[in-house]
Amino acid sequence: MFNINKLCLFSCLCVIVIIVLYFQSEIARLEENYRKLEFRLLQTHSESRQFFPKSLEKNDDDSIVIYNRVPKTGSTSFVGVAYDLCKRNNFKVLHINITANRHIMSLSNQYKFAQNVTKWYEMKPALYHGHMAFLNFERLGATSKPIFINLIRKPLDRLVSYYYFLRNGDNYRPHLVRKKHGDKMTFDECVERSQPDCDPNNMWLQVPFFCGHAAECWIPGNQWALEQAKHNLVNHYLIVGVTEQMLDFITVLEATLPRFFRGATEYYLNSNKSHLRQTSAKIEPNSLTVEKIQESTVWKMENELYEFVLEQFNFVKRKLLAREANNVAQIYFYEKIRPK
């Protein structure tokens, strides 16, 4: 009987010891997890106080391309190519959506946007696109400058396309009811009756898109705006093409920015992107309408910008795609390097 009691007592002690050891190990484990968590919080707090940019991985690319697309210039077709190539060429494509489809940002949003896109490392390399006016990143204190590209179209063609687009839509989203749906007035009739929808001042869009966010940029017929648009085009844009030469524009981009546009020319030729979006039931204006529109100051200035872009683009295209006498593409190399 005595031995049985001793055995029971011993068993109870063993159980108690096991329970104590278990709780001690759990307490030690919890303390270790707490120390790890405390270290991570301290590390995070420390990193948040560092104001220098994070270093990129060796294989990362820091490039940013901004396509501030002008409405009704074939931009949907071009962006479609970028979206289809982004996975293959390993870059991001992001659409810039501004409230109420406005083309200019508030000053605070200009600053935030410039800081955001240049420091959003997880999204690099990236192509941003949206219907917005040019932004000078240097003026906004950004540490790096994006690469700007764009397309431009003959001003009257763009206006006529937009006029019928508001009434008839397009083949991209044919069932979407547009703002002027049901209005059967032709563009010729609109001009003849001097209606506001065909006012030549409505062409004043490509100039301000290249001019930027200054108030003068958006005054129709402003001469300073035209000169500023030309200045920005030459000094801040890598390349500006014309809608009528979309294929050549894509070819130039592939040759210049293969990081983004490798394979773009072949893809554009062999896909349906070349005719992705076309305005429905568009009627070309008659000669009297064209003559009347071309008398306006706004058309003359918008057309001057178009001709300026066309001349610049053809110059770049000839130099880039031209072959030497022996059919060899232009190259450059370094020599006579000193000291050896």
128 phi/psi in degrees, rounded to 5: -100, 140
**Residue 295 Cα distances to 154, 161, 197, 199, angstroms:** 15, 20, 17, 12
Quick check: is 131 catalytic? yes
How far is it, in rounded angstroms, from Cα 170 to Cα 275? Answer: 11
3-state secondary structure of 326: coil
How far is it, in rounded angstroms, from Cα 44 to Cα 31? Answer: 20
Quick check: is 275 catalytic? no
The catalytic position among 45, 103, 131, 181 is 131
What's the token pair of residue 101? 């489809």
Beta pairing class for 237-242 and 92-95: unpaired
How far is it, in rounded angstroms, from Cα 200 to Cα 210? Answer: 19
- Across the beta sheet with 237-242, the strand order is 92-95, 126-129, 64-67, 147-152, 237-242
How far is it, in rounded angstroms, from Cα 207 to Cα 150? Answer: 12
How far is it, in rounded angstroms, from Cα 234 to Cα 305? Answer: 12
What's the token pair of residue 46? 């420390």
Give 263's contacts (C-beta < 8 A, 6+ positions apart).
Answer: 85, 88, 89, 254
The catalytic position among 45, 95, 103, 129 is 129
Show which residues are catalytic: 129, 131
